[in-house]
């Protein structure tokens, strides 16, 4: 499930996490809906809820911990009532058997911007996290965050930006990083929220407390002078019960910690202050407080303190002296010594130009006034004098300014003065050059913005044009009106001159500049170009100059600079030349500037009160600089460097320098400054669990710290990390691939520090070992590929280790490549482990080998070798056999153990010598013996053209056998490649072999080659074979009867053996101990002198026959050609029983002019050694 899946739990239903980390969308209980309609009850404020009581559960239900994340995305003002019971549940749970707190812990995460309420007494023992939106714990005092636990046991964390509200009970130790708003209605209501454990208000957290009525009113403690009675009176306040009609309250049944930087906002909810009113806002067993509450007596409305109070007015004051220790506020009354201040002269509104200095002032009558200036209602820090001076004002300074004046007798505010800043002229559209025929009408125009009034004055060649005072000037093209036009524009801020534009008649007269190049201001490394448009009698020549020195090769209308540097910055011009009526004319463009500023971002984390200097490098000289913080100009920071002598927390930000030249502005690289004034806070519970890891799995975990910039760490450290994992000392990112695991978690201590202090948190990290089925030796066959292995195929061998490392080699044709790396495992999906390695090749693109290991099948799948253009897919398998797990199912137990023989049959479509003279017709063969302990084997055999081959490998988990061998000699290399498999039978001695091998013999470049010189395309040979067991006396080979005469025969076919006859076929006797008895050589039963030898233990056969035939090329018919031919083969069990299959190589008799007995082609034929078939049954009598 994902956050896209909403879950509805209606009557008698249950959602089980099952020891996993599960994320769902909206949780809707008891027929409620996200719209608040359709079977739900809308309570008038946007709430929706189920129509009945709870009979639904969300539980873990497992023996291992689980977590449910609920991404509630219902509208923010709809209250989603989680009318379900959250519990750990039993490892095997049901709706009937519902004993609680039996399985491992369930943890609950509230995510999403919605508002959700826990309404019931819950029983889960894991943690609660509020990541986003509002989690309301309890409603009308009913509801909690799980089972009761120790006060310092992990409880609830409220994330930055998230809200915790309600009137229920929060169990365990809690941390507030975001917002705490007691009371129902998502915190809009009032009430008491109970914390049954320790509570930390971290720096940056905000707690909002509403007050409407006091906890208690001490009528005999009305003024500040009555504070002597504080203990007795506060004692009453501490014991009085608090109701939701009085005020918010936070009750902590444990130790409270208030960090410096935590904020508490007190908000009036219809309250009218009375002297003696006491508000018991907090109730805790003990407190460690670092809050700055300000002076004991406060009027309210002040800034700069951790306690923000509303203004009481008149003679009333807040007594805050007991807030940090007892959580109590009191309203007291002071004696007024005089009158409140009176403003006699208010600040005045002003309209000024940018860069001006503006002064606002106020005149006050009254004793000991203090001042606080504001802009648009917000306090201006440090503006506490009678006058407010603003220097170098910009448009951003516009707004309404007023001042609040206070003395001990009251507060008064001034009238608001408005500051308006004129806008200087900005040219939006420049005049454009006009290239028109003589006598044609045209016009020049300019478009600007800026504060009115705006005036225009056009010039031709620098001289004012009478009456040309509009934004558009019309003119008729002639020799007298040709030239350069520009416009002078003025407003209250100042005067701006437009760019120049020419009026030109094409290809007439001396050279002139039609369009001037324009200046450029760029960041170093960016391209820049200057272009000039000239006009005049052809042909024009160009020469660009930098600082009056010719730029080599720059002789075109455009000068291109691919990557600007500060060295290339300077002043550029272009000299244009032509000849008109025999006279040389030259004109030089207006100088333009190339300004360059260095880029490059960096980050600085610096301590409060230290000094830092920012510097930007730019060229040429004469540029203007303006430093900015977070995009806002810093007044007075107009040099190439900017120094902050004593860093404050408000100096945190992103600093850039806007460098302005004749070509506009460019922004330097950004420097991010973070200022800290206190030690960091790590947002982890002690002894909590980090996300689990797995050996060789990519791991990445960012240590969570308080987001407040003033707590930023400058260094991180982690001790106890497993080998393969490291922590970035600057960023706190734990990453890498573990190479070590153990049965118990690694005990890791994480430390974050800066110069103000450090914090360390012990945590647990569980590293799972790599599954055993990923570890071992692998082999795979690579198919033929015309580019990657020259159509020869190949093989891959690899070994993996318990550390997740792997090494191996793959062979592409004749070239071997080594590779190594570390697997990429996934702790959440341990079935697969991935690998990818790059092999660098000299003079060629690198090769990338990738694969996936399957734990459940012991296969290497989805393999690929690619050079970036072509890819070669492959699969492979792991050696699973050992002494503890022998391959008996395949190797058998009868001697010779693990012995297999097979034959290699050509396709039916290629059988017959006469029709397929380029295809060997014999039967290739092979044999191997499987070591039952290691499963190692070496295949050895011969192909039908007499070529020997071998392939050493091991037996795969399903009996696979890999075959790859290059054949023949360069440059005519061929190969045999493929795989076969042992097919297990109920009785291992009955196991068979099947599969297919690809055999390729390319054409030979040797003109004397007699055996298949033309070669053949890859042939698919069918593997037919089985387990071979040597006969044990009195049994003999082929299952023959040792007492029978003439029980076996040799048959020869194809290879032109049949012509001229007779063929060398013979019938023979196999006697006891598999002794071969042949007919008399040369006799009538063996005219071709056929011989045979059999090795029964191995099942091999060899022999020969001799053909003596007339020479067809001898016209005298007196010459004979003798051809002695050998044959060989292998006893193989097929569907018809045991037979020996093999081949012979027979030179053909010469038949055409030029052929002799020594240069004719040699052909392969088939030999079969088998039992003589029984005679057919006699025909039935008529």
Tell me the per-residue pLDDT of 538-568, one tens digit each, with 9 for 90 and over: 899 999 999 999 999 999 999 999 999 999 9
Check pLDDT > 70 for residue 236. no
Interval 725-747 mean pLDDT = 96
C-alpha–C-alpha distance, residues 490 and 497, integer Å? 9
Nearest-angstrom CA–CA distance, 1030 and 76: 84
Q: Is 241 exposed, middle or buried (0-12, 13-18, 19+ CB in 10 A)?
A: exposed
In the prediction, which pLDDT does 35 show?
Answer: 38
pLDDT at residue 226 above 50? no
What pLDDT does residue 224 have?
47
Distance in angstroms (rounded) separating the CA atoms of residues 384 and 359: 14
b/e string for 1049-1059 if b means 16 or more Cβ within 10 A?
Answer: ebebbbbbbee
For tokens 């509020």, what's the residue?
130
Phi first, then psi, for residue 224 (nearest 5°) are -60, -30
- pLDDT for residue 344: 87
pLDDT confidence of residue 306? 93
Half-sphere CA count of 875, side-chain side, radius 13 A: 12
Instruction: Dump pLDDT digits (tens) for 440-468.
Output: 999 999 999 999 999 999 999 999 999 99
Who's near 561: CB < 8 A, 6+ residues apart? 527, 528, 529, 568, 594
Average pLDDT over residues 621-644: 96
Q: How far apart are CA 1129 and CA 1100, in angstroms?
A: 6
What is the per-residue pLDDT across 454-511, written as a single tens digit (0 to 9) for each?
Answer: 999 999 999 999 999 999 999 999 878 888 899 999 999 999 999 988 888 888 778 9
To the question of domain 424-506 being in CATH 3.30.300.180, the answer is: no
What average pLDDT does this structure show over 374-398?
94
pLDDT on residue 36: 36
Q: Are strands 455-460 and 463-464 parallel, antiparallel or unpaired?
A: antiparallel
Q: What is the pLDDT of residue 55?
A: 72
Considering only 59-63, 250-254, 918-922, 928-932, which range has the smallest mean pLDDT?
Answer: 59-63
Residue 204: pLDDT band (50, 70, 90) is very high
Residue 1095: helix, strand or coil by DSSP? strand
Out of 2.60.40.10, 3.40.50.2300, 3.30.70.1340, 2.60.120.10, the CATH code matching 510-593 is: 2.60.40.10
821-840 confidence digits (pLDDT tens): 999 999 999 999 999 999 99
Residue 258, CA distances (Å) to 137, 151, 173, 704, 811 in order? 22, 17, 14, 20, 67
- pLDDT band at 709; cut points 50, 70, 90: confident
> Considering Cα of 266, then 272, then 274, then 279, what sign does the dihedral take?
negative
Band the pLDDT of 337: cuts 50, 70, 90: low
Lowest average pLDDT, out of 2-16, 202-216, 312-326, 1064-1078, goes to 2-16
Instruction: Summarize pLDDT for 838-881 with one digit per residue, the tens.
Output: 999 999 999 999 999 999 999 999 999 999 999 999 999 999 99
Spatial separation of the C-alpha atoms in residues 294 and 319, rounded to whole Å: 10
Q: What is the DSSP letter of 223?
A: B
203-207, 352-356, 412-416, 436-440: least confidently modelled range:
436-440
pLDDT at 1170 over 60: yes
**Cα–Cα nearest to 511, from 454, 566, 557:** 557
Domain ranges across the chain: 342-421, 424-506, 510-593, 598-676, 688-768, 772-878, 879-1029, 1030-1176
Task: Say yes or no: do domains 688-768 and 772-878 share a fold.
Answer: no
Phi, psi at 323, each rounded to 5°: -70, -45
Q: CA torsion sign, 215 to 220 to 226 to 232?
A: negative
Query: Residue 1 — very low, low, confident or very high, per pLDDT cuts 50/70/90?
Result: low
Q: What is the pLDDT of residue 410?
A: 82
Rg (CA), the chain: 48
Q: Is the pLDDT of residue 47 over 80?
A: no
Instruction: List the CATH code of the domain at 342-421.
Output: 2.60.40.10
At 338 the pLDDT is 67
Q: How many residues does the chain have?
A: 1182
Nearest by Cα to 924 from 998, 1015, 1005, 1010:
998
* pLDDT-derived band at 333, boundaries 50, 70, 90: confident
390: which strand partners? 358
Answer CATH for 598-676 from 2.60.40.10, 3.40.50.1220, 3.10.20.30, 3.40.50.150: 2.60.40.10
pLDDT of residue 335: 64
Q: Which of 229-238, 266-275, 438-447, 602-611 has the lowest mean pLDDT?
A: 229-238
Mean pLDDT of the chain: 91
Closest CA to 952 of 797, 1064, 1103, 1060: 797
398: preceding bond cis by omega (within 30 degrees): no
H/E stretch holding 1024? strand 1016-1027
* pLDDT value of residue 94: 44
Reported as a pLDDT band with limits 50, 70 and 90, residue 41 is: very low
Predicted local confidence at residue 40, as pLDDT = 33
List Cβ neighbours of 851 (8 Å cut-off, separation of 6 or more).
Answer: 798, 834, 835, 836, 860, 861, 862, 863, 864, 874, 876
CATH 3.40.50 correct for 772-878: no
Compare 47 and 1017 and report the one with higher pLDDT.
Answer: 1017
Per-residue pLDDT at 718: 98
Q: Superfamily for 688-768?
A: Immunoglobulins (2.60.40.10)
Q: Tell me, what's the pLDDT at 92?
A: 58
For residue range 267-319, list pLDDT tens digits in order.
998 888 788 899 999 999 999 999 999 888 888 888 889 999 998 877 788 99
Query: What's the CA dihedral at 301, 304, 305, 308 to 10 degrees?
Result: 30
Q: What is the largest CA-CA distance in the chain?
A: 156
pLDDT band at 95 (very low <50, low <70, confident <90, very high): very low
Per-residue pLDDT for 33 more than 50?
A: no
- Position 227 scores a pLDDT of 46
pLDDT number for residue 5: 82
156-189 residue pLDDT tens: 999 999 999 999 999 999 999 999 999 999 889 9
Summarize the confidence of residues 395-424 as an average pLDDT.
92
Query: Cβ distance 884 to 1027 under 8 Å?
Result: no
* More reliable by pLDDT, 232 or 51: 232
Residue 235's pLDDT band (cuts 50, 70, 90): low
pLDDT at 906: 97
């Amino acid at each position: 499930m994902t956050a896209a899946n909403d879950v509805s739990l209606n009557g008698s239903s249950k959602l089980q996490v099952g020891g996993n980390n599960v994320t769902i969308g909206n949780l809707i209980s008891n027929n409620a809906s996200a719209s608040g309609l359709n079977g739900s009850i809308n309570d008038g404020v946007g709430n929706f809820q189920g129509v009945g009581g709870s009979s639904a559960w969300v539980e873990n239900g497992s023996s291992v911990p689980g977590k449910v994340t609920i991404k509630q995305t219902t509208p923010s003002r709809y209250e989603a009532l989680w009318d379900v019971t959250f519990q750990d549940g039993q490892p095997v749970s049901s709706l009937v058997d519902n004993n609680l707190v039996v399985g491992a812990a369930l943890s609950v995460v509230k995510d999403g911007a919605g508002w959700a309420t826990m309404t019931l007494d819950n029983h889960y023992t894991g943690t609660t996290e509020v990541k986003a939106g509002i989690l309301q714990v309890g409603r009308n005092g009913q509801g909690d965050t799980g089972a009761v636990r120790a006060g310092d046991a992990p409880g609830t964390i409220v994330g930055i930006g998230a809200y915790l509200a309600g009137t229920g009970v929060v169990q365990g130790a809690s941390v507030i990083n975001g917002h705490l708003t007691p009371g129902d209605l998502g915190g809009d209501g009032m009430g008491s929220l109970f914390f049954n454990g320790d509570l930390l208000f971290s720096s940056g957290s905000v707690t909002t407390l509403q007050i409407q009525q006091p906890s208690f009113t001490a009528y005999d403690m009305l003024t500040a002078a009555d504070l002597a009675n504080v203990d007795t009176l506060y004692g009453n306040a501490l014991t009085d019960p608090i109701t939701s009609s009085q005020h918010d309250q936070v009750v902590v049944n444990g130790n409270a910690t208030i960090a410096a930087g935590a904020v508490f906002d007190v908000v009036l909810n219809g309250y009218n202050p009375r002297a003696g009113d006491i508000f018991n806002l907090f109730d805790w067993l003990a407190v460690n407080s670092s809050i700055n509450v300000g002076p004991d007596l406060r009027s309210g409305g002040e800034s700069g303190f951790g306690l923000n109070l509303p203004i009481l007015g008149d003679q009333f004051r807040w007594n805050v002296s007991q807030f940090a220790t007892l959580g109590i506020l009191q309203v007291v009354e002071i004696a007024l010594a005089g009158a409140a201040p009176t403003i006699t002269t208010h600040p005045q509104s002003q309209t000024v130009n940018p860069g001006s200095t503006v002064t606002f002032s106020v005149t006050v009558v009254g004793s000991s006034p203090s001042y606080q200036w504001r802009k648009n209602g917000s306090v201006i820090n440090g503006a506490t004098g009678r006058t407010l001076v603003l220097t170098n004002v910009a448009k951003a300074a516009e707004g309404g300014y007023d001042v609040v004046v206070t003395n001990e007798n009251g507060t008064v505010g001034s009238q608001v003065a408005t500051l308006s800043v004129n806008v200087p002229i900005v040219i939006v559209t420049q005049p454009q050059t006009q290239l028109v025929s003589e006598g044609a009408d045209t016009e020049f125009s300019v478009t600007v913005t800026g504060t009115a009034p705006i005036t225009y004055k056009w010039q031709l060649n620098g001289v004012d044009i009478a009456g040309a005072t509009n934004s558009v000037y019309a003119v008729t093209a002639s020799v007298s009106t040709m030239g350069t036009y520009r416009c002078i524009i003025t407003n209250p801020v100042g005067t701006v001159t437009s760019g120049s534009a020419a009026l030109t008649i094409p290809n007439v007269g001396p050279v002139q500049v039609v369009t001037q190049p324009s200046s450029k201001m760029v960041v170093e490394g960016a391209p820049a170009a200057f272009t000039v448009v000239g006009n005049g009698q052809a042909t024009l020549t160009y020469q660009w100059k930098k600082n009056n020195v010719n730029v080599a090769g720059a002789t075109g209308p455009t000068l291109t600079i691919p990557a600007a540097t500060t060295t290339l910055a300077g002043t550029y011009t272009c000299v244009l030349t032509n000849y008109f009526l025999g006279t040389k004319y030259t004109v030089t463009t207006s100088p333009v500037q190339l300004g360059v500023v260095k880029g490059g971002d960096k980050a600085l984390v610096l301590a409060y009160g230290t000094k830092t200097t920012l510097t930007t490098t730019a060229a040429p000289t004469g540029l203007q600089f303006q430093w900015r913080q977070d995009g806002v100009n810093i007044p007075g920071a107009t040099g190439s460097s900017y120094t902050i002598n004593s860093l404050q927390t408000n100096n945190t930000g992103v600093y850039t320098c806007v460098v302005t030249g004749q070509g506009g502005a460019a922004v330097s690289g950004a420097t991010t400054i973070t200022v800290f004034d206190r030690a960091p806070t790590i947002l982890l519970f002690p002894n909590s669990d980090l996300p689990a890891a797995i050996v060789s799995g990519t791991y990445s975990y960012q240590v969570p710290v308080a987001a407040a910039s003033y707590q930023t760490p400058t260094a991180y450290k982690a001790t106890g990390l497993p080998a393969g994992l490291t922590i970035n000392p600057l960023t706190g990112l734990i990453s890498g691939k573990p190479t070590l695991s153990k049965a118990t978690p690694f005990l890791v201590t994480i430390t974050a520090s800066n110069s103000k202090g450090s914090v360390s948190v012990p945590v647990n990290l569980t590293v799972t070992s790599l599954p055993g089925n990923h570890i071992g030796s692998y082999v795979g066959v690579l198919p033929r590929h015309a580019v990657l292995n020259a159509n020869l195929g190949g093989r891959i061998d690899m070994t993996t280790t318990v550390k997740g490392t792997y090494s191996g080699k793959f062979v592409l044709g004749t070239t071997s490549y080594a590779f190594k790396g570390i697997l990429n495992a996934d702790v959440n999906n341990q079935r697969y482990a991935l690998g990818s390695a790059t092999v660098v090749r000299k003079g060629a693109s690198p090769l990338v080998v990738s694969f996936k290991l399957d734990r459940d099948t012991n296969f290497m799948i989805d393999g690929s070798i690619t050079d970036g253009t072509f890819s070669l897919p492959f699969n492979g398998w792991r050696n699973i056999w050992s002494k503890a797990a022998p391959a008996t199912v395949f190797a058998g137990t009868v001697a010779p153990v693990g012995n297999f023989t097979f034959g290699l049959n050509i396709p039916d479509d290629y059988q017959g010598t006469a029709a397929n003279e380029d295809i060997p017709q014999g039967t290739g063969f092979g044999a191997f013996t499987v070591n039952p302990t290691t499963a190692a084997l070496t295949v050895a055999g011969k192909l039908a053209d007499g070529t020997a081959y071998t392939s050493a490998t091991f037996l795969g988990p399903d009996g696979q056998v890999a075959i790859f061998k290059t054949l023949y000699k360069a440059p005519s290399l061929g190969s045999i490649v493929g795989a076969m498999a042992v097919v297990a039978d109920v009785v291992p001695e009955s196991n068979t072999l099947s599969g297919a091998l690809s055999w390729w013999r390319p054409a030979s470049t040797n003109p004397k080659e007699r055996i298949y010189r033309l070669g053949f395309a890859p042939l698919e040979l069918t593997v037919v074979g089985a387990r071979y067991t040597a006969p044990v006396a009195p049994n003999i080979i082929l299952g023959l009867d040792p007492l029978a005469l003439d029980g076996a025969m040799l048959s020869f076919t194809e290879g032109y053996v049949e012509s001229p006859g007779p063929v060398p076929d013979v019938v023979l006797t196999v006697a006891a101990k598999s002794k071969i008895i042949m007919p008399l050589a040369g006799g009538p039963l063996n005219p071709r002198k056929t011989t045979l030898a059999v090795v029964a233990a191995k099942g091999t056969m060899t022999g020969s026959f001799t053909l003596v035939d007339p020479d067809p090329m001898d016209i005298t018919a007196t010459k004979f050609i003798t051809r002695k031919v050998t044959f060989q083969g292998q006893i193989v069990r097929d569907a018809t029983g045991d037979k020996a299959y093999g081949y012979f190589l027979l030179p053909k008799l010469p038949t055409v002019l030029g052929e002799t007995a020594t240069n004719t082609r040699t052909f392969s034929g088939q030999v079969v050694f088998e039992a003589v078939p029984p005679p057919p049954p006699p025909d039935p009598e008529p």
